[in-house]
Amino acid sequence: MKRIIFYAIVSIFSLHLACAQSLPEVTLDQAWKDKIRALAPEKATFPAKKKKVLVFSLHTGFDHWVRPHTEEMVKILGEKSGVFSVTGSKDIAMMELKNLQKFDVLVLNNTNSKPDHRNLFWDKLKESGTDSALVMQQALALEANLRKFVENGGGLFVLHGANTMLNNSWEFSRLIGGSFDYHPKQQAIQVRLEDPKHPLVQAFPAEGFNHVDEPYFYKNAYAERDFKPLLYFNNAEIEGQRKGQELTEGKTYVAWIRTEGKGKVMYISPSHNAQSFENPDLLQFYLDGMQYVAGDVECDETPIKK
């Protein structure tokens, strides 16, 4: 019944908002939290022991209004399912390896960096007025901590604009599967399933789902296709693409998974808007994805490049 009601609302909603530039911000109040809690899965899909999750929400660049909603959503999923204890932080000190190692999963929640360096660590450390060369050395050390965390078995869950965190770093781009290039205006997007039989997309109906979002396009390591895709949109259906670079065929991926050393990584583009979290199927997908990076899910991870 939840699914039927949701898709009926979304069909009407999308007709009115397909050409909209943005959706209105939603107040993060108790009523909204209660709504998400009611829609969230009752239990985890896959058997699991309780794991520790850090939601890192520091930003220096574009401030996504959905950041606090996203953190709250992750906390609700963890608490209601009982498989995750969730801690939120914006403290850059949490990126020290000794602190990362206290957690099983790191969630990068719209950790957008400034356009000039496209390096969140540089942006934050530079605020202290330290010499630029030393700042870059420290920033590179924190980036190395992220890679070590995953290589040693940690889970990395990268959400929406978090792929701009270290956008000019090829190492970071390879770690998460690609870098942010640009996005056209917000619009109604039909998100489709790459493989309807894959265990991580079982939350969705076979036809996928429709929602209003920013359609992200990618660059750098994305071209290597070193990931297993889960969701995509058809390029021909996206309006307002960059002039001279319009894609009229093929697909762009919306979510994917990959392995790195002993660890697992998942990138999910949806969503720029808290309204999307009112889709119980998307909430289930988020929870299943967190279980994947936590090591609870056995599934096909074969990169499409192979």
Please check whether residue 168 lies inside any domain of the structure: yes
In-domain check, residue 223: yes
Q: What is the pLDDT of residue 10?
A: 42
Based on the structure, what is the number of domains in the chain?
1
- Give yes or no for a contact between 197 and 166, defined as CB atoms under 8 angstroms apart: no
DSSP state, residue 273? S
287 CB burial (10 A radius; 0-12, 13-18, 19+): buried
Question: What pTM was estimated for this model as a whole?
Answer: 0.92
Degrees (nearest 5) of the Cα angle 25, 29, 31? Answer: 105
pLDDT digits (tens, 9 = 90+) for 91-111: 999 999 999 999 999 999 999
CATH number of the CATH domain containing 274: 3.40.50.880
Report yes or no on 57 lying in a domain: yes
Domain limits for position 124: 2-64+73-293
* Residue 268: both structure tokens together: 């999910």
| 24 in any annotated domain | yes
Predicted confidence at residue 305, as pLDDT, reads 86
Residue 103 inside a domain? The answer is: yes
- Evaluate whether residue 42 is within a structural domain: yes
In a domain, 213, yes or no: yes
Residue 18 has pLDDT above 50, yes or no: no
Q: What integer pLDDT is reported at residue 13 of this predicted model?
A: 42
d(CA 90, CA 53): 14
Quick check: is 299 in a domain?
no
Say if residue 157's pLDDT is above 60. yes
